Structure 1
Amino acid sequence: MAAGEQDDTRPLVPCVGGIVHDRAHRLLVVRRGQEPSRGLWSVPGGRVEPGETLAAAVEREVLEETGLRVRAGAEVGRVRIDGGAAVYDVADLACVLLDDAAPVAGDDATEALFVDAATLTGLDCTPGLVKTLAGWGVLPD
């Protein structure tokens, strides 16, 4: 394989991410408890289970990682993340927050919180997160 080429035999793993804003237009983020990017901040999300829709997957993942209920909306963008042995194909969906509760970390997250733009830029985020969210027009206020 030439330099810069990808191994096309690696499995493509379908995943979702939830773009969730609260009433103050702060963004819901979690500190990842698992690889890839363990310890870094990102939006909540994870793998799509067999037979699960993207909407059902993101609603489940947000609930598992933050304790918050959301209703999935439209896809705002998609990224591919090199996971070494696999490539994660992540569909990020806009979600409507159904709870006014504070997020509580659970499942694969070690922390969960709503952040404004200034706080987000000060966090150690997953590679390209802030730039990608900016390009999609979904950064917090």
Structure 2
Amino acid sequence: MSQFAHASLRGLIESEGTYLFLKHEMPAGPIWGIPGGRAEIGESPRETVEREVLEETGLRVRARDPLEAYAYTWADGEKGTVSVVFDCDLLDSRDAVDLEANPCPEEPITEYGWLEPAEIANAPMNDALRELLTGRR
């Protein structure tokens, strides 16, 4: 039987030369990623990005064009995800991040950070996401 990857839509948010990352506490250790998730029925990809960023961070964004997609296999080796990353315009102050606003308390998001491009090289994150972001410099 074939296994199929899930799809997610993610928002890349830049402010003052830094990018917004969320730290997730995973069984294999913490990992940094950009906000996003799966679409709800009837939602466009841009609507999904805007909703997911708002839910996870409390920030309003405007999703623009898709930048790139990347794929990865979960640590269990049984599941995979393809993520499409959209460039986003930040509509709120970068200081308005509110992780408590997330309506999904089971998500393992523990903190956020505005990472400079040089920090991305050493932060624990998915290699495919790192390659996508370091290619933007």
Q: If the length of structure 1 is used for normalisation, what is the TM-score?
A: 0.78
CA deviation map 1:23-74 (0-9, x unaligned)? x121011112467x76200111111222221101111111111111100000
Q: Please tell me whether the aligned partners of residues 69 and 99 of structure 1 are also in contact (alpha carbons under 8 angstroms).
A: yes
Cα distance change, pair 87–127 in 1 and its aligned pair in 2 (3 A): same
> What SS does structure 1 have at the residue aligned with 2:59?
coil
Within 1, Cα distance between the matches of 2:113 and 2:58?
11
State the partner residue of 1:104: 98
Moved more, 103-112 or 58-67: 103-112
Q: Could you say if the C-alpha distance between residues 38 and 65 of structure 1 is closer, same or farther in structure 2, counting changes exceeding 3 Å?
A: farther
Among residues 78, 81, 86, which one is paired with 2:79 in the alignment? 86
Q: CA separation in 1, counterparts of 2:34 and 2:73?
A: 17
Q: Return the letter of the residue paired with 1:105.
A: L
- For 2:3, the equivalent position in structure 1 comes to 10
Number of matched pairs = 128
Q: Distance in 2 between matches of 1:34 and 1:55?
A: 27
Q: Which amino acid aligns with 2:10?
A: G
* Identity among equivalent pairs (%): 28
- 2:61 is equivalent to residue 70 of structure 1: yes
Distance change (3 Å), C-alpha of 1:120 and 1:134 = closer
Match in the other structure for 2:114: 114
Give the whole-Å Cα distance in 1 for the aligned partners of 2:62 and 2:29: 26
Q: Judging changes above 3 Å, is the alpha-carbon distance between structure 1 residues 56 and 38 closer, same or farther for their aligned structure 2 residues?
A: farther
CA RMSD across the alignment: 2.2
Structure with higher strand content: 2
Partners of 2:70 and 2:128 within 8 A in 1: no
The AA in structure 2 aligned to 1:133 is: L
List runs of 5+ in structure 1 lacking aligned partners. 1-6
Three-state SS of the structure 2 residue aligned to 1:40 is strand
Instruction: Tell me which of 18, 31, 35 is aligned to 1:26.
Output: 18
For normalisation by structure 2, the TM-score amounts to 0.80
